[in-house]
Amino acid sequence: MKNSNGELLLQSYLECIEKHGNPSRMVTDGGSDILRSARLLSEHQEREGENITRHTYDISHRIARIIQAALEHSERWQSFETMVKNARQYCKDKARHLSPPNLSHGPDRWMNLCGILKWYSDLVGRVENRGDRKVSPRFGHTERVLEMGRATYRKCGKLFKALGSICGREHATEEAYDEALRKKCPNMPKGMKDYLDEKKDLNKTYLGEVMTGWQEHREIHEEVDGMLKFTNEIQKLLKNEGLSKRTMVACRQTHREANLKGMGKSVGKKVMDALGTMVEDLKENERIVATSDVLESLNGTWKMLIGGSPTPALAGNALLMPAIMGKLDTIEVKHALETVSVADVEAWKTRTFGVTYFQERRAKCIEIAS
């Protein structure tokens, strides 16, 4: 759709219902246009005497908003987040060897806080030589050391020009560093040599930068980490079991065992209140889908597969989605290739999607260019 509002979405719903039947429930991210369209749909169904499609606010998005409300205006969290941002930038620019694998942010950072905490936790573990990936020794001197030395030994201008040629370069061993220093600066004053010897372990400089502020932020890290472990357990439970009065009992047990601290306590209470409201009108044996995680995971896999496609939009490659939901064997793939042609896929695409907004825009661009 080129744009969406409640009325336009209602028309799309009615077209889908005409093709596929009346859905019992919709799970959404709670956007204002979708909430309005859900209300309009239920009003339409009520007028027509049809079964009303009930709306469920996706629990993953609901939890993200609860967390956002708790952290967005917290000075403690903002300070911690700034520290992590600076550490990541420092590792990217000056110390890639310190950094764990890069974190790929999703479109909504409130749904990706676990990744932020895990990245920094892994970094701290490497710095403190915990775990499998430890920091290996690196020798040399940084630009900062060079600037500090220049301020102290102003008379040695030519020396610093020579030092600049090895500034920031890293050496695997201390001997390799000393050899490079002797070649570039054979007549270095003893005072300057002693000064550089004290600063020659690059890791010490790097570690000091990335660990700045860590001790004072340990408490907020533990609070948010515990809170996210609890909310992830809740989402995992609802994704696997659905929401019912029985799974609500399991959620309450998870909440009791979470041992939440600080702001995690208020977030935990709000999450349980939200679940309690959702489960109120359910019958004893009724079970509903309360999260779109399964669909979003499938959609994410599909987008990754078509990332290199010249037209990574909703088109014939949408047929990959049902294909990756099950196991494919050689016989089934062979049968598909022998019985389905490109023309069949194109006909299916046109029949199912019609001309999308982006296809229409691309066609206009080509027309203007020609």
Q: What is the predicted pLDDT for the residue at 102? A: 64
Q: What is the predicted pLDDT for the residue at 228? A: 94
* Phi, psi of 55, deg, nearest 5: -105, 135
Q: What is the predicted pLDDT for the residue at 109? A: 73
| Among candidate residues 323, 341, 343, the one with its CA nearest the CA of residue 332 | 323
Helices (H), the chain: 6-20, 32-48, 59-71, 75-94, 113-127, 143-152, 157-164, 174-184, 190-199, 202-210, 214-241, 245-257, 263-279, 293-305, 320-323, 330-339, 342-353, 357-369
The amino acid at residue 364 is: K
Q: Per-residue pLDDT tens for 91-100?
A: 888 787 788 7
CA–CA separation, 195 and 281 (whole Å): 73
The residue behind tokens 């019609």 is 354
Rounded to 10 degrees, the C-alpha dihedral 174/176/178/181 comes to -140
Q: What is the predicted pLDDT for the residue at 11? A: 93
CA–CA separation, 237 and 234 (whole Å): 5
Q: Is the model more confident about 255 or about 213?
A: 255
Q: Per-residue pLDDT tens for 173-209?
A: 888 888 888 888 887 778 878 887 887 777 777 888 8
3-state SS class at 126: helix
CA–CA separation, 352 and 359 (whole Å): 14
Q: What is the predicted pLDDT for the residue at 9? A: 93
Q: Per-residue pLDDT tens for 28-53?
A: 988 899 999 999 999 999 999 999 99
As given in the structure block, the two tokens for residue 159 are 């020396």
Assess whether pLDDT exceeds 90 at residue 268.
yes
Q: Per-residue pLDDT tens for 121-161?
A: 888 888 887 766 777 777 877 777 777 777 777 766 677 77
